[in-house]
Chains A and B, each alone.
Chain A
Amino acid sequence: IFLASPSALTGSALFFAAQRCIRALKTVQAEHAPPQHYTWRRNCSSAVMPRITSHYTIFPRDKDPRWEGVEMERFADEADVVIVGGGPAGLSAAIRLKQLAKEQEKELRVCLVEKASQIGAHTLSGACLEPSALNELFPDWKERGAPLNTPVTEDLFSILTEKYRIPVPMLPGLPMNNHGNYIVRLGHFVHWLGEQAEELGVEIYPGYAAAEVLFHEDGSVKGIATNDVGIAKDGSPKDVFERGMELHAKVTLFGEGCHGHLAKQLYRQFNLRENCEPQTYAIGLKELWVIDEKKWRPGRVEHSVGWPLNRNTYGGSFLYHLNEGEPLVALGFVVGLDYTNPYLSPFREFQRWKHHPFVAKTLEGGDRIAYGARALNEGGYQCLPKVTFPGGMLIGCSPGFMNVPKIKGTHTAMKSGMLAAEAIFPKVTAEDPASETAGLHIPEYEDNLKKSWIWKELYAVRNIRPSFHNYFGLYGGMVYTGVFYWILRGKEPWTLKHAGLDSAQLKPAKECTPIEYPKPDGKLSFDLLSSVALSGTNHEGDQPPHLTLKDDSIPVANNLAIYDGPEQRFCPAGVYEYVPLETGEGMRLQINAQNCVHCKTCDIKDPSQNINWVVPEGSGGPAYNGL
């Protein structure tokens, strides 16, 4: 989130602005004045740690005696194209394929699998939708009843201090300007896309997660297999054990969203990330509130930066007034996952932010009705991997086409899905595909991406996010954007680099000061567990925890010892808890897998990179309604 101040044009004005900035920043820093102590936990454990991980990805079943004699054959089916993930990218790709099939009167079997129990239940976003991709996909979207009910009418940007608000003018040409866009409840929009897809004949299977990538003998992707069901918490088979199903396809599209777990595997398998920087992320937390009618301004978009984050922690807030009958606002907070202080809790920063006078006055007297969280991409152009490989391709936020300063990724995700469909269609319907590998390799998709408006957009804004890595942090970044984006439109010849892997950014706990967060007051701010209850998340209890650890001993030995267990703080659902051992001295990690909201933050931010998020039994996870 960010903006430019026009006075930063001339060199001397820059210097004075810098001086004023430094003075202002010293005040902001003083607000986080450290209490001169920190907790240091001794964690020598004399007792035996109970086993945490039992998932078959860590403990293979072919070596496990409990699985001897269990029927492991899978039913397989063939389709032309299989799509993993029922989000904007996956659904747009499916729709575009069927539209082309209808136009050219060809038959095409398109199957889409989605881990949520219904399309839209795992979708979470702000969101201000730029209708550019939608106009290309369905020029008649209004007649079809797309739920774009709230055109943006006002756009506000503020820099917050603890008590005050500095308004910043939203000049046209700035990336954040929202003229012509719509505030949507993305879950409802995705649900509508799902209905359009089904009408066109796409086979959609919600409640079935793609758990495994299948390969041909020649190494190309053959398709996917859905999750097995009926495995007990200790990893043994239950009476109701059933193997997942294999879906084979000529091409498989992976649209798992930000930091997909199958995509992680594909990066390694096909070495797709050798020429790009590692992706950097942020976590976004969101709530829906029904507010007092007198405070409701439908169509108003508010963004802020500054308090409660310090200038070196990237992040900010959004508050959108929806126009769907009742006085509903969607609000939330984003924190860049390259933060350095292991004591930072994005959830508590979010709750704290709501107490700012400018925000509290909108929320006072209102009721919170929904909560959720999800990681999002911040890397942009520098972090785009190779997106095609034999047998498949990556679409949407999985490779990561989000335009960070605009804070929009839905339109680029949809467009990437459509471009993928257009590249695939001639190949899968051709009589003789003329492919070297059994799974089709379609590099035309990547060429099409490079020629499209997605590439131009991402190139123009590529230096904005990395420009935050300077002494002045947020303010330096804003100055950079003012000069190089607003005026020069991103044409500068250099490309700045990001800071590296998010998980490597944490400083050891002893070098940082704990942050004193205020207690939730139950009216504006809330505790973690009541928030998780609102997300509607649930999983079958008797299954292996899907937050798998490569090594069960590392959390206490490394995460707790050096970083004071940051996963207790960055998980927005309270999955990770360090609890005292029942006997003996020391702590152990307890994983409450049922609380998981599938945000993927732990897989991203774990300093030991020991946590590997895999997909749980299908239809588990949050039950977002229009989030």
Chain B
Amino acid sequence: YIVTIRVKPDHSGVVTDGVKHSMNPFCEIAVEEAVKLKEKKFIKEVVAVSCGPTQVTETIRTALAMGCDRGIHVEVSGKDYEAMGPLQIAKIFAALAKKEEASLVILGKQAIDDDCNQTGQMTAALLDWPQGTFASEVTIDGEKVKVVREIDGGLETIKISMPAVLTADLRLNTPRYATLPNIMKAKKKKIANMKPADLGVDMVSRVEVLRVDEPPTRLAGVKVETVDDLVAKLKANGTI
């Protein structure tokens, strides 16, 4: 994930051409958790979904190589892709969850591109399903799910009924490597292709990005010799 980010010369966004894209780390954890639940026989089938241009099929392949059964690629490109945000994705996921009759929707807690931390929560609201967010432990108990959540104050344990939305936090598991034999096998697994319109979702954004700028360069600090100097400097720039 170490790539140097550059702002586009027209300040409309960040340069993404030619930059290596990979699966969001929290989503890797989510995929791993889903595959683990399948291996423990709590769920029957894992479907990996991604929204975006053609390149996302590579990411779906990685998920298939980690153990998902099939993939769905919701094609969004061009201007729609640039304007796509959590609300549009949540609408797509909600529509798919209903269509596929899913019992669990597992996502990463947030994307490291924009750190919004909204998609999981919005998906649950649109579906009117319970949500277990920031999960660091997930246990399925009959028709209910026990989720240990990481919160500011420590850990909170809740029990929610399925169908539910879960979002994965860092300590949920350590994702497995997608090994080459699995990548080769994944080439044979199916990835269905569809557009947001097929799901009845409108991609119009309620948010307009006016301008993107780099953060201001950090200025060098100034060292002072004595406390009097420090007070004088603070007075001089109006802090005290």
Contacts and interface: CB of A to CB of B under 8 A. Distances in A.
Contacts of A408: none
Interface of B: 1-4, 6, 9, 18-20, 22, 174, 176-177, 179-181, 183-184
Nearest to A76: B181
A242 B179 contact: yes
A229 B178 CA distance: 10
Nearest to B19: A625
Contacts of B20: 117-118, 121, 623, 625
A534 B181 contact: no
B181 A77 contact: yes
Q: Which 3 A-B pairs have the closest CB atoms?
A: A538-B2, A75-B181, A245-B180
A245 B2 CA distance: 27
B18 A191 contact: yes
Nearest to B58: A118
A188 B19 CA distance: 11
A548 interface: no
A188 B3 CA distance: 16
Contacts of A370: 4
Interface string A224-262: 001001100000000110101100000000000000000
A369 B179 contact: no
Contacts of A625: 3, 18-20
B180 A240 contact: no
Residue from A77, A370, A534, A536 with most neighbouring chain B CB atoms (10 Å)? A536
A120 B19 CA distance: 11
Contacts of A369: 4, 6
Given A533-B4, A538-B2, A625-B18, A326 B9 contact: yes
B3 A536 contact: yes
DSSP class of B's interface residues: helix, strand, loop or mixed? loop
Given A77-B184, A226-B180, A625-B3, 20 more contacts: A117-B20, A187-B18, A191-B18, A203-B184, A205-B180, A208-B180, A229-B177, A230-B177, A239-B174, A242-B176, A242-B179, A244-B179, A245-B180, A290-B9, A326-B9, A369-B6, A536-B3, A623-B19, A625-B20, A626-B18
Nearest to B15: A625
Contacts of B177: 229-230, 240, 242
A625 B177 CA distance: 25
Contact of B4 (A118, A205, A226, A534): A534
A392 to B, nearest CB: 20
A369 B6 CA distance: 8
B183 A188 contact: no
Nearest to B21: A118
Contacts of A117: 20, 22
A120 B22 CA distance: 15
Interface in A350-369: 369
B9 to A, nearest CB: 6
Interface residues of A, number: 32
B150 to A, nearest CB: 22
B181 A245 contact: yes
A537 interface: yes
A536 B20 CA distance: 10
B2 A536 contact: yes
Nearest to B1: A538
A165 to B, nearest CB: 31
Nearest to A120: B18
Contacts of B18: 120, 187-188, 191, 625-626
A240 B176 contact: yes
Nearest to A617: B177
B151 to A, nearest CB: 27
18 contacts: A77-B181, A117-B22, A118-B20, A121-B20, A187-B18, A229-B179, A239-B174, A240-B177, A245-B179, A245-B180, A533-B2, A533-B4, A534-B4, A536-B3, A623-B3, A623-B20, A625-B18, A625-B19
Contacts of A77: 181, 184
A625 B14 CA distance: 14
Contacts of A118: 20
A205 B184 CA distance: 9
Contacts of B184: 77, 203
Contacts of A326: 9
A164 B183 CA distance: 57
Contacts of A188: 18
Contacts of B176: 240, 242
Interface in A476-534: 533-534
B61 to A, nearest CB: 11
Nearest to B55: A118
B180 A537 contact: no
